[in-house]
Structure formats: structure tokens, C-alpha cells
Structure 1
Amino acid sequence: MVVASAQSISEIKRDKDYIWGEGKGVTLTQADNEALNDLITQISVTVESRYSKIDENVIAGGNVDTQSSFRAVLQTYSNATLQNTERFVISNEPDAHVFRFVKKVDIDRIFASRKAKVNDMVSFALRAQRECKIDEALRNFYWAYCLLQSLPSSHEVTYDNNGESCLLITWIPEQIRKIFSLIKISKQPSSENCVDGMLVLNISYDGKPVSSFDYTYFDGMDWSNIYSAKDGLGVIELLPGMAADNLQIRCEYEFAGEAHTDKEIESVVKVMKGTAFRDAYIWVRSVPSKETSVASAGNMTVEPELNANSTSDVETSGVTFIEGDDAEPYEEKMNRILLAVRDKNYDNVRNLFTDQGWVMFEKLLAYGQARLINTPRLCFIAADNKVICRSVPMSFSFRNNNRKFVEDVVFTFDEKKRIESLAFGLGQEAMEDILYHSVWEEKSRIFLMSFLENYKTAYALKRLDYIRDIFDDNAVIITGAVTQRVTGDVEMNRYRNNRYVRYNRQTKDQYLRNLDRCFRSNEFINIRFGNNDVVKAGTGGELYGIQIKQDYYSTNYGDQGYLFLMVDLNDPERPVIKVRTWQPEKDPDFGLYDIGMF
């Protein structure tokens, strides 16, 4: 490493246009951290006048004055933007000496990227709000608000909301409170609302079922772990002696347990005091019982979902549903399975499954202490010589984790009316994104939906062999965020020869080895797909490119990002993934990966 000249450093120190800091240590890392800390101190003096009441927003670890508050906030930049300041190495290890500097006119650039991130998160929140993804909306609004308070002149930052200039320091809290005011939570009618000690909730936002929503509830002694509602359905687990009335829900909005997925947000959340919203506490309403065609939970009798209200959906989607006498054999088998799950007596239903289906059934029952949460209203969809049963709502909880999930379980019958596979269903929005593509053949839409459900379920149930089978041996597998041009053997697979391949591309074997380690180190993995955009390739038959907003949860890790899959469904029994990419956010140069890039 080249050692900087004493003359150039002296010139910078004398130049009033620069701010600088220096540090010493046994290692370069230690010396560099000291230099950054020194630089932060100097920057805090420069920008002090641009912060308003910063000490009121910073967590007090003792006596906190304004200067120490500046330092605490500016420290949150050290892991990101400040790494881009200029650096001279005066001497190397073991007597390392590092000099950091930045032009005063460039200080605003240090804050510009965070301001842009605030605006991006507000945009994400507004989109999620429109899509009834209340967990995403609240998370992005609240984290954006935390980041906003760490900016100089935070009281002047605005957001262009469809031509309206919104002052974010007051507008974001207003939006959060508005969301709370539009959330309604009620118990389902008594004939359906309690199975296996669980109270089933209907959760809506602005009159529509929530797509996703996180909450806790008060059990009389303490607040529960976090529960995740899906498609308007949530649960409360009633403890012995716990009254089913006067129940209070707290909407999750801080998402402190997920902040580690973004180091910048994590550092800010640790420093800022945060904001309490009284409106986040909502009482659960009781809804009078009414007549229902669904029998009591004790009988576990199911009926087809289809009714007069769903006829238009069938016609719109062009999907063939099985009804009446044709549905009876499947209803009878599902009744037996639901009773077996409720009573935890499975031997009598073994003959209803293929060997593979039974293995998946056992894995699903072992996944997070699976429990039925409601008497399901099922529908049956014809798919060539198979029948898909949608869907059985179940809850999943884990001993070593504070999250509980609601999932819809989908059963697939083979031509002999045996269950050959099970999967966690897509959310309502993601499902409709596919089913209502009326320009595609019906079976293509159904197979595409089934593929996505099987894909995400394979990760949850840790089906490494299945994942190995569906990836092409030469699949392009890309993770990370930095784009670079890759050169290589001209005989490489054609999908590899493109300018969007990133430095952290993995081979199939590398990906599977990493995935195996991930499976072994996590008690659970849960993947949720949000909105998706699907494009069919112009050539190649049933070749599709799928862009998906993905939320990934596991025992010791979580993230949100964008998944892209290019999958060959020409043989629906053997789907083949040609390309899999993941990116945490849209690339500033090209946005999201799509099928046109490969």
C-alpha cells in the first residue's frame, strides 16, 4: 500500500475547504475507525446549526448534551456513506496511521443518499398501503421517519405525493395514524371462531381484508409474540382462563427485530428514541353470530367455496372449478384429513396419500407445531388430470422464535384421487396476478401458480432434493447488489453471457451447499411473495420470467428484496429454473432483473 506524503497531508490540514480526522492503531482497521471517529467529530461541529433539537430524539445513555447527540447520529453514517470519504495511509501495521478527509462542499453528499432512501421508503409504504400490505406500509413509514430524524434540516424535507408537497416530519406520523384508524379487527361468528383453543380474527383495512399484517395481543399478563395475519385472517391463542372478550391488539410498526436486515436502519433505530403511537392499540370487536352453511368445528365438515358471489370470479379468471357431485369425493377425503389433524391421529388417513405426499404431509405437521385455525371453506380446481384443493388455513409457531405465521395449505390430488403434494398457498393478490392473465392458457396459469407455491414451500420444509432437481445444472444464480462485466469461456451457457451478471454469481453446487448450511442452522424458514410481474418469453414455449417482491424470515436472519426467476414449464411435471437472481433493492442503473436481460 502506498504511504501518503507528509506534504499532501499538511496541505489538506491547512486548507479551510477540508474537514479531516486521523487515527492510530495496531491494525489498519483500528486506525481507520479512529480516523472516522475523529472525522465525525469535526463534521458534527460543521453541521451543528442545521440540526433542530437533536438531543430530544437521541436515546440517553447518561447525561446527553447536544454535541454528544450529534456524534451519536453521525456515527450511524460510519458504516455506509462515510466509508466513501478519501483516505491516506500514513504508515502500515503494526503502527498503522490513517488520515481521512472530505471537502466541506461534499458534506451534503453524505446526507443525500439517506434523504433519497427516506423518499424511497415512503414510496414503498404508499404502494404497500394501496395493496393492503399493512405490515410493509407501517414498517417503511416508521423506518423512514427514524431515518428522517437523523438528517440535518429534517424539518424541511418534503415528499412529492402526486403533485402535493408533503412536509415529512409531520406528514409521516399522520399517515401512520391514518392507517391505524382504518384497521378493523373482529372475532368471527361463534360457530366458526374457535378451534383447538384459538380465536379466529377477521382483520380489514379500509373495508378490505389485509393482505399482510403483524400484531401482538395482551393475554392478561403480558404482550404476546408477534403474529402475522394473511389475507384478512389472524388468530389469538386463548390461554386457560383467558376471557374471549375485552381483547386488545397492538399493531406492530417498529419492527425492531427486523432492523438488522439493513445495517443503516439498525444503527439509526439503536440511536433514535423512537415514537410511540397510542392509536396502535385496537380493541377486538365482537360480531353477532349469524347463519352459516359451514358446520361446527367439532364435525370439521367442509363445503366448496363456490357460491353465487364467486361466479363472476370464475368467469373472469377462466379457471375451471369442480362443483357439486364431482367435488364430493375430494370433500370426503379432506374431511377425514382435517379430523386427523385436529385429533392428531394420522394412521387412518395414510392411504389417502402417495408416498411423496405422505412425506410432505409429515414434514408440514412437524413445521412449526402446525394447527388448524378455522373450519375451511374449500374450492377445487381442475388441472389436467389433477385436482388442486384450496385451501386450509393453519398457524405455525416455533419454540425458539417470537413469530407465529398463518398460512393457507394447498393439497394436490393425482389422477387416482390421492394427495401427491402439499404447498403453502400464495397470497390472494399474488394468486390473482397469475390467474387473471386471461391471455394465457388456463393450464399454464395453474401450473405457474403451483410452481411458485411449491418453490416457496420447498424452502420452508427444507426440501433440498426438490430444489436440486428444479435448478438447471448450468443455472445462473446471482445474489448481491454490485453489477460488473463478466468475461469467461466462450462455451459457457448462453445465459451467462450478459452484462448484468454480478461478481457474486454462484454455481448450482455452491448455491446448494450454502442452502444446506442455511437449512441446518435455522429452526424455520418462511418466505412470503408479494406482488409479482410475470412475462412469457417470445420464444421457447412455456418459458416465463417472474419478478417477485419477497419477504424472507428465518430463525437468525431476515430480509426483503426482489426475486427474479426464469423457469421452463414446457414439462409441468419437471419445471426447470434457468435463472435465479435476488437483489435487495432496485439497481440505480437498470432497476430489476427481467427476462430481457438473459
Structure 2
Amino acid sequence: MKKGIVLLFLAVFCLQAQEPNIHTIRSSRDYYWGEATAAVAAEAQDQALADMIKKIAVTVITSFKDKTTETGGTIEEKVESILKTHSAATLKNVHFINRPEGMQIHSFAYMHKDELTKIYTARKQLAYELYKTALFHEESTLNLAQALKLLYFSRLLLQSVPEAQIIVDDVNLTVSIPEKINDICRNIRFKPILDETLDERERCVTLEVTYKNQPVSLLDFMFWDGSNQVSVQTRDGQANVTLYGSSVSFDDVDISIKYNYYECRKEIDAVYQLWNVVVHPEFNTAMKISLSPKRSIKDMFRPDPVAGVRLIQPEPFTDLEIPMPKVATAVEIFQASLNEPENVETLFQEDPFLNAKMKNFLKYNQPAVLSQLVEADVRPHWHGYEVRRIPVTNTYKTLNKQTTEYIVLDTDTSGQFMDLTTALNNHTYEQFVLGDSFIHEFMHRQTIIKFIEKYRTAYMTRDMDLIDKMFADNALIIVGRVVE
């Protein structure tokens, strides 16, 4: 027993001997330190940490001179802000010595200078992980919107590291990130494939959007319509640009590919904290698209029997007996509701569910049917059939935004129109659902996709009741269009 007590005493003594005291730290050049006094320990520690950061900022300020903005405060304040973005997440090796001082607590914060290098390493690693994820989206999913966003965020994070050349795993991020952003933008192609003058005040141009000869899964770009900057989203290789008023007469349109995702900056806390502190790199993504020659809508080919939609029964479902005439009627009803929204009440007078859902879809998204010929696949699901990928153009005038969406229509086993959802991008669908040739496995995978698409549609139709039920604590199952 006595031997154990002696060993414990020796261990505590050795541990205390290893811990530097305040006097040693202050007189040493191996530490950063700060101190403060406050009524409670937590407040004293926060103030001591802030004091330490201020002193670190003085030592590294010259390394950040070209990386901070020139407005909104002194360079000293900007560098302190940069260091605080590290402290919020990665200053884990700061030690504190707290002692009573009268009725208050005196806190002494300190950190060995070697730890600062570890902190910068963590930030470089985060930038590198974003860079690798961006490459995955560029090469594998063709989601160029996500790739450009992550590359830009990664480049922004490098502004918080006081090194001229930042290299991780033999990759020079300082050089590779801007090169990749420029390479992506340089290899995107926009080709007008349809140009419709709907009337003297409205014109719709459909663009084929490819990257290295492959259809782009997702991409955002902006154009100037003569009075406003309009945002357009490309999905599955196609974008629709709607011109109004004086812009109807444009012979070409100037666009710029989006890479600065201001509205997404809060997705990564360090990016959000750095946003107003560091210099933002700029890239020239502008290009001009010729819109000639123009064709009027009366010149367009409109196939029968369903206006603009050719229904396909793909492999391995060619042997199934699908009631195609009834399915075609469902497509026509959907198109009629878009072309004549005032008749939705009549079209769905015996179906309150579709009546309400279609009204909300029209109200919040302002969709318009495209007139070019498209092919839509008809496949089975657990409760009937689906018609996948009918393109529409959604317009959000208050946001100056236009997007291409693809609609999925669900029918029952007789072909009766039952539901509509907005589709995920085609690359995801093909990779996840069509990756198995067995019909029973296809149905299981399709169920997962349908759940995601129903959630996405609930968001677009502002169906908060369904969203709350989907994420309720108690389990639920979506059976067709019923939540159980």
C-alpha cells in the first residue's frame, strides 16, 4: 500500500515537473502566450486566448499582407480574424493555467510554437480534402457546380495559411486549384439546339451543355438580359434561357460560369468565418454564345400522339404489358395543367391530392413545357408505372433565376395519373438504380430514389407537413402517395 502511494506521488511530481510554469513560459522564446482576468474561468480563458492570438498575429502579419482584404479594418485585425478561424476548430493544444486573483480568476493561455505549424497543417489538409472531392465530382459525376464550388472554397482556405506555396501529398494546391478551375471553365461548351420565339415579348433558347464531350450533370451560370443578372441552372446536359422584353432580339448572349457560391459559404464554418477577411481570388469565366439562326415556334416539329414526348419501354422491361395509351393520357393531362393552369381545378376535380400538389407546384415554380421532342422512359414501380424525365423550365422571377427540371409522373397499374415528383440528376439515377439488371433489385433501389425525389418535391411545393413526417422520430413508410 505504501509503495503504491509513493509511486503515485512520484508520478504526480514528475508530471508537474514537466509542465512549464508561467515565469518560464514568459521568459522563453518557444511559446505563444496570453493572459486575462475575469469573474468566471470560461470568460477569463476566452480573453486569454484572444490575447494570445493577438500576439501571434504580430509575428505572422507580414505573411498575410497579400492575403487579406483592404477594407473593413486594419491588417492586424484581419490577421487576428484569420487566426480565430483556426482557434474555433483546431487550436486544441492550447493549455491554460487558472489561478484565483482576489474574487476573480486569472487565466494564462500558452501554446508551444511548434503547435502553430500543426494548426496550419490541419487547415491545409481540409483544403486538400475539398480539392480531392472536387476532382471526384469533375471526373466521375460531372457535377461541375459542386466541383467549382469546392475548388473555390479550397482556394479561399489557402488564404488563411501564411505560406507562398502550399503543397500537400506532392500536390501544389496554390497552383493546381486555379489551374483546375480554369481548365473546367475552358472545356465547357454551350450549343443552342432550339430557339423559340413564343411571341414578341418572350423567347426561349435551349442550350446543350457539355464538358469534354459529355453532358454536364449540374452547372450554374449567369447572363445579363439587359436589365438584370439572371441565374440559370444546367441539369443533365441541358439549360433553358428565357428572354423577355428587349432581350428577345438578342443575336448573342454573354454568360459567366458561376464559381463563387456566396449563398453556400456557411456549409463550411472556416470558409464562412474567412469570407469577409481574406482576398477573394477572381477567375475569368465569361463567354459569348451566338443565338443565330432563330426559329419561331410555328416552325417546330410537334410529334404525335403526345405533344413533344415519345414514350419508350426500355430494357429489361420490354416484355411487360404496360397500358401505354392510358400512360400517354397521364402525360397529356400533366402538360395541359402546365399550359392552362387555370384549368387545374377541372382537370383534377376528382383528385384532391393531385389538385393541391399541382397548384403548389405551379405557384412556387412557374414551370413551362418545352416544345422540342423528348423521349421519356416508362418503367414499373411497386404501385404501377413511372414516366421519367419530362423536361420543364422553372422560372423564379423574384430571384432572377431559371432552372431546368425533369419531372417523373407516377401512374397506378391501369395507367391512371397518380403523382408527380422532380427527378434527381440522370447520372445519379443511372449509377444507383440502373446498375442492376435484375428487376426485383431494380425495384428496391428505385424505392430509395423515389423517397429522395418525394422529399425534393415536397421542398419545391412547400409541403412542410410531409417534410415533418419524413423526418419524424417515429418510423414511417411512404406507400405510393400515402404516408403511413
TM-score surpassing 0.5?
yes
* Partners of 1:171 and 1:89 in 2: CA distance: 46
Report the equivalent of 1:61. Answer: 71
Rate the CA distance shift 1:287–1:55 in 2: closer, same or farther, 3 A.
same
Report the equivalent of 1:105. Answer: 114
Instruction: Name the SS for the 1:82 alignment partner.
Output: coil
* Partners of 1:18 and 1:345 in 2: CA distance: 73
Report the equivalent of 1:275. Answer: 281
Shift of 1:251: 0.8
Name the structure with the higher helix share: 2
Report the equivalent of 1:40. Answer: 53
1:394 aligns with 2:404: no
Rate the CA distance shift 1:383–1:113 in 2: closer, same or farther, 3 A.
same
* Partners of 2:181 and 2:42 in 1: CA distance: 41
Does structure 1 conserve the Cα–Cα contact (< 8 Å) formed by 2:36 and 2:48? yes
Q: Which residue, 337, 340, 351 being the options, matches 1:340? A: 337
Report the equivalent of 2:451. Answer: 451
Rate the CA distance shift 1:143–1:93 in 2: closer, same or farther, 3 A.
farther
Rate the CA distance shift 1:342–1:23 in 2: closer, same or farther, 3 A.
farther
| Aligned pairs for 1:343-354 within 5 A | 343-347=340-344, 350-351=347-348, 354=351
Partner amino acid, structure 2, of 1:449: I
Shift of 1:137: 0.8
Report the equivalent of 2:183. Answer: 178
Partner amino acid, structure 1, of 2:87: S
Shift of 1:348: 7.0
Rate the CA distance shift 1:91–1:450 in 2: closer, same or farther, 3 A.
same
Report the equivalent of 1:499. Answer: none
Does structure 2 conserve the Cα–Cα contact (< 8 Å) formed by 1:321 and 1:379? no
Q: Please, which runs of 5 or more residues in structure 1 have no aligned partner?
A: 1-6, 476-566, 577-598
* Partners of 1:193 and 1:171 in 2: CA distance: 45
Report the equivalent of 1:558. Answer: none
Rate the CA distance shift 1:322–1:363 in 2: closer, same or farther, 3 A.
farther
Shift of 1:414: 1.8
* Partners of 1:62 and 1:453 in 2: CA distance: 44
TM-score by length of structure 2 reads: 0.81
Shift of 1:462: 4.1
1:231 aligns with 2:236: yes
Does structure 1 conserve the Cα–Cα contact (< 8 Å) formed by 2:194 and 2:205? no
* Partners of 2:145 and 2:101 in 1: CA distance: 49
Percent identity at matched positions? 21
* Partners of 2:326 and 2:91 in 1: CA distance: 65
Rate the CA distance shift 1:467–1:172 in 2: closer, same or farther, 3 A.
closer
1:80 aligns with 2:77: no
Report the equivalent of 2:146. Answer: 136
Does structure 2 conserve the Cα–Cα contact (< 8 Å) formed by 1:82 and 1:110? yes
Does structure 2 conserve the Cα–Cα contact (< 8 Å) formed by 1:294 and 1:302? no
Deviations along 1:262-286, one digit per CA (max 9) or x if unpaired, are 22011222222212212x1122244
Shift of 1:338: 1.5
* Partners of 1:402 and 1:42 in 2: CA distance: 46
Report the equivalent of 1:241. Answer: 246
Instruction: Name the SS for the 1:346 alignment partner.
Output: helix
Instruction: Name the SS for the 2:240 alignment partner.
Output: strand
Does structure 1 conserve the Cα–Cα contact (< 8 Å) formed by 2:159 and 2:279? no
TM-score by length of structure 1 reads: 0.66
Partner amino acid, structure 2, of 1:435: L
Instruction: Name the SS for the 1:153 alignment partner.
Output: coil
* Partners of 1:197 and 1:120 in 2: CA distance: 43
Rate the CA distance shift 1:413–1:439 in 2: closer, same or farther, 3 A.
closer
Does structure 2 conserve the Cα–Cα contact (< 8 Å) formed by 1:231 and 1:427? yes
* Partners of 2:319 and 2:154 in 1: CA distance: 44
Does structure 2 conserve the Cα–Cα contact (< 8 Å) formed by 1:336 and 1:349? no
Deviations along 1:142-164, one digit per CA (max 9) or x if unpaired, are 11111113213241x2244xxxx
Rate the CA distance shift 1:145–1:384 in 2: closer, same or farther, 3 A.
closer
Shift of 1:244: 3.3
Q: Which residue, 309, 327, 330 being the options, matches 1:303? A: 309
Does structure 2 conserve the Cα–Cα contact (< 8 Å) formed by 1:230 and 1:427? yes
Rate the CA distance shift 1:387–1:439 in 2: closer, same or farther, 3 A.
closer
Partner amino acid, structure 2, of 1:207: N
1:251 aligns with 2:257: yes
| Aligned pairs for 1:148-297 within 5 A | 148-155=158-165, 157-160=166-169, 165-190=170-195, 197-224=203-230, 226-242=231-247, 243-278=249-284, 280-286=285-291, 295-296=301-302
Does structure 1 conserve the Cα–Cα contact (< 8 Å) formed by 2:251 and 2:292? no
Deviations along 1:514-545, one digit per CA (max 9) or x if unpaired, are xxxxxxxxxxxxxxxxxxxxxxxxxxxxxxxx
* Partners of 2:222 and 2:103 in 1: CA distance: 52
Shift of 1:419: 1.9
Rate the CA distance shift 1:98–1:123 in 2: closer, same or farther, 3 A.
same
Report the equivalent of 1:370. Answer: 367
Instruction: Name the SS for the 2:114 alignment partner.
Output: helix
* Partners of 2:253 and 2:125 in 1: CA distance: 40
Instruction: Name the SS for the 1:438 alignment partner.
Output: coil
Partner amino acid, structure 2, of 1:461: T
| Aligned pairs for 1:449-488 within 5 A | 449-467=449-467, 474-475=474-475
Does structure 2 conserve the Cα–Cα contact (< 8 Å) formed by 1:184 and 1:203? yes
* Partners of 1:193 and 1:129 in 2: CA distance: 36
Partner amino acid, structure 2, of 1:145: R
Bigger mean CA deviation after superposition, 120-129 or 332-341: 332-341
* Partners of 2:325 and 2:462 in 1: CA distance: 33
1:145 aligns with 2:158: no
* Partners of 2:187 and 2:52 in 1: CA distance: 46
Instruction: Name the SS for the 2:379 alignment partner.
Output: strand
Rate the CA distance shift 1:240–1:568 in 2: closer, same or farther, 3 A.
closer
| Aligned pairs for 1:514-593 within 5 A | none
Does structure 1 conserve the Cα–Cα contact (< 8 Å) formed by 2:228 and 2:400? no
Shift of 1:253: 0.6
Bigger mean CA deviation after superposition, 198-207 or 425-434: 198-207
Instruction: Name the SS for the 1:436 alignment partner.
Output: coil
Q: Which has the larger radius of gyration?
A: 2
* Partners of 1:196 and 1:332 in 2: CA distance: 29
Does structure 1 conserve the Cα–Cα contact (< 8 Å) formed by 2:97 and 2:107? yes
1:19 aligns with 2:32: yes
Instruction: Name the SS for the 2:244 alignment partner.
Output: coil
Does structure 1 conserve the Cα–Cα contact (< 8 Å) formed by 2:35 and 2:48? yes
Rate the CA distance shift 1:129–1:363 in 2: closer, same or farther, 3 A.
same
**Count of aligned residue pairs for this structure pair:** 457
Report the equivalent of 1:417. Answer: 415
Does structure 2 conserve the Cα–Cα contact (< 8 Å) formed by 1:411 and 1:422? yes
Report the equivalent of 2:12. Answer: none
* Partners of 2:320 and 2:263 in 1: CA distance: 44
Shift of 1:127: 0.3
Shift of 1:423: 0.8
Bigger mean CA deviation after superposition, 459-468 or 406-415: 459-468
* Partners of 2:356 and 2:149 in 1: CA distance: 37
* Partners of 1:345 and 1:462 in 2: CA distance: 20
* Partners of 1:431 and 1:447 in 2: CA distance: 12
Report the equivalent of 2:437. Answer: 438
Q: Please, which runs of 5 or more residues in structure 2 have no aligned partner?
A: 1-19
